[in-house]
Structure 1
Amino acid sequence: MFNFNEDNFRKVTKGAVGLRGQIEEIGEKLTARGYKNLFLIGSGGSIAIMYPFEYMIKTTSTLPVYAEIAAEFVLYDHKQFGPDSLVILSSLSGTTKETVEAAKFCKDKGATTIGLVGELGTPLADLTDYTLVNYSENDTASDSIYLQLYLLIFKLLAARGEFPEYARFADELEAMPEVLLDVKRATEGPAEAFVNKYKDETYHMLIGSGSVWGETYSYAMCVLEEMQWIRTKSVHAAEFFHGTLELVERDTSMILMTGEDESRPLMERVERFARKYTDKLSIFDTKEYELKGISDQFRKYLSPLIIASLFERVSVQLEAQRNHPLSTRRYYRTVEY
């Protein structure tokens, strides 16, 4: 694959699922101690990765769950948050200012915290009560964090008696490094063709729903806008028909990120509309991938990970064909703000 290190990808993703023992031990300790609710906190791409799990918990469990943007969370008095809350925070660098401040805030309030980072000795790693560490670069970060969160979240649900299939699910997650490589290989050609066709496009609409909504929001903001400086609108499929549809014209680029959970009919509705009114429709559908070794009942949970992993191949092509490195920034961590 173009500009891709398969050995490094295997190392990172196997490292993530290799934390299973540690994660299960943490889950058992937390369950024995008890907690009343769960807060998922992050900034930018890190909060976007939390949104799918908020959705999955809401559709699988009675556990109260709140996905919160770090910078906002510390400024308002969330009445459900307190010393008996469990908090999961994520920052690959472990230095994201807003997330570190949120971790300090949670510690001061007496809540129990779990941090997901790429390196020990970083501010977030030093602040959290439990820390999961798996080194990763940006191109493998989402795969790594997703795999850790699947193990952690579903272990917590299993301990509540709400996900009895956990052991089999966790076993199948161990096959995900190779499954994701198959996904990337299958996406290589379509990604190159998509970027070759749309590399000069100045505006995209990205549509998603359910557990994939977080990735839709993230790819629009953190990749197309931040890393490629392309004007982009991310919109939830359930809300598309309440405003955004009026901007669709024949030359409007619409990108659909379609998963396999309960919200899929919302995406199918948008697709039917788009086929009538734009000539620039692109669909990336997780249902088109085999996912060898993964049970049908688990596919809906894995949709956001599949979307994130396949769009990494789109990003690589964007960087190359637009001659715009993904690392180029004008403002982010470059100027004071």
Structure 2
Amino acid sequence: MLSFDETEFVTQTESLIALRPGIEELVDRLVDEGYDNVLLVGAGGTYAQMWPYEHLARRTSRLPVRAAVAAELVVSGDALLGEHTAAVFTSVSGTTEDSLRAIEYCASRGAHTVGFTGHPDSPVARGVDTALISAPKAWPFDVQLLLFLGRWLARRGEFTGYERLADELAVLPRVLVEVAQQAEPVAAAFAEAHKDTDYHFLIGGGNLWGFTYLYSMCILEEMQWLRTTRVHSAEFFHGSLELVEEGTSVIVFQGEDETRPLTDRAEAFAKRISKDVSVFDTRAYPLTGISPEFRGLLSPLVLDTVMDRVSKHLERVRDHSLDLRRYYRVMDY
């Protein structure tokens, strides 16, 4: 597979699963000490990656869980934030400035701050009350967030299958390698067909809306300098549909939660207008060893693996490094 180090990938994924005992011990302590609300705080991609877990809590629990933009939180505040708040942060590098300021802000309001990163000596790891460290560069953070929130909801009697789900995560390294292998030819074909495409329209919903936002902004825009439109499948028919034309590249991200019919509807309409609709559906992947009732929860992680293959092939055919930036962390702002 192009630019895929299987050994490194497996090691990173195993390091995420290995955090389970520490995550569960932390959650149990927070619950026992009376913490009663959770803020999931991020910036850019790490903010978008919080949305599936806010979505999970909103539809299954009365526990107040909110995703917050780090920079906005510092200037606007949040009425939930206080001595009974667990504020959760994620950072690949451990150096994200907006998150560091938000960590200080949340700590000043009495919250218990939690950080997930791959760098134990980083500012984020040093700045939080509890740091849980994975292998360097391990991404995405879905395993940690699912374990953290899943355990919390289980303690409240709102996630009866948590232990079984957590046990099944042990197969993820193998399962995700198989996903990457299956996705490889699809990714190569998409990249070849779109090497000269300069605009993509992305649609997703439910617990894949965060990934839709992330892939549009953080990959296609930031890393490939491509123009995009991104819209939630439930909102597609309230304005954005007017941008779809016969030659528009429409990318549909389809998962397996209860919002699937909303994305089906948007996909069906897009195919009536555009001759260039690409559907990436997590249902296409076997995920052997994962129970059917948990597949939807893992859709963001599966799709991240699939689209990483697409990203690497876009990098190749467009001769545009995924590491190239004009402004981000290059200029002062």
TM-score (norm 1): 0.97
Distance 1:159 1:183 in 2: 32
1:209 alignment counterpart: 205
Gaps of 5+ in 1: none
**1:326: Cα distance to partner?**
0.2
Amino acid at match of 1:134: S
Amino acid at match of 2:63: L
Bigger shift: residues 314-323 or 53-62:
53-62
Output one character per residue of 1:117-145: Cα deviation in whole Å (capped at 9) or x when no partner: 110111111111111111233xx511xx1
Q: How does 1:167-316 map to 2 (within 5 A)?
A: 167-316=163-312
2:83 is the alignment partner of 1:79: no
User: Secondary structure at 1:292's aligned position in 2?
Assistant: coil
Output one character per residue of 1:43-101: Cα deviation in whole Å (capped at 9) or x when no partner: 01111110111111112211111100000010013222212111111111111000000
Distance 1:264 1:201 in 2: 27
Within the candidate set 127, 148, 157, 1:152 is matched to 148
Percent identity between the two aligned chains: 45
**Poorly superposed stretches of 4+, deviation over 6 Å:** none
Q: How many residues align?
A: 333
Are the counterparts in 1 of residues 202 and 229 from structure 2 also a CA contact under 8 Å? yes
Output one character per residue of 1:18-66: Cα deviation in whole Å (capped at 9) or x when no partner: 1111111111111111112110000011111101111111122111111
2:136 is the alignment partner of 1:136: yes
1:105 alignment counterpart: 105
Are the counterparts in 1 of residues 11 and 135 from structure 2 also a CA contact under 8 Å? no
Distance 2:245 2:21 in 1: 52
2:39 is the alignment partner of 1:39: yes
Distance 1:170 1:135 in 2: 19
Amino acid at match of 1:58: R
1:88 alignment counterpart: 88
Output one character per residue of 1:163-213: Cα deviation in whole Å (capped at 9) or x when no partner: 121111001011111111111111000000001001110100010001000
Amino acid at match of 2:160: P
2:317 is the alignment partner of 1:325: no
Distance 1:279 1:77 in 2: 45
Gaps of 5+ in 2: none
Distance 1:202 1:315 in 2: 14
Within the candidate set 162, 171, 174, 2:158 is matched to 162
2:7 is the alignment partner of 1:4: no
Distance 2:156 2:130 in 1: 20
2:63 is the alignment partner of 1:67: no
Output one character per residue of 1:238-267: Cα deviation in whole Å (capped at 9) or x when no partner: 111011111111001100000011111110
Distance 1:114 1:184 in 2: 31
Amino acid at match of 1:30: L
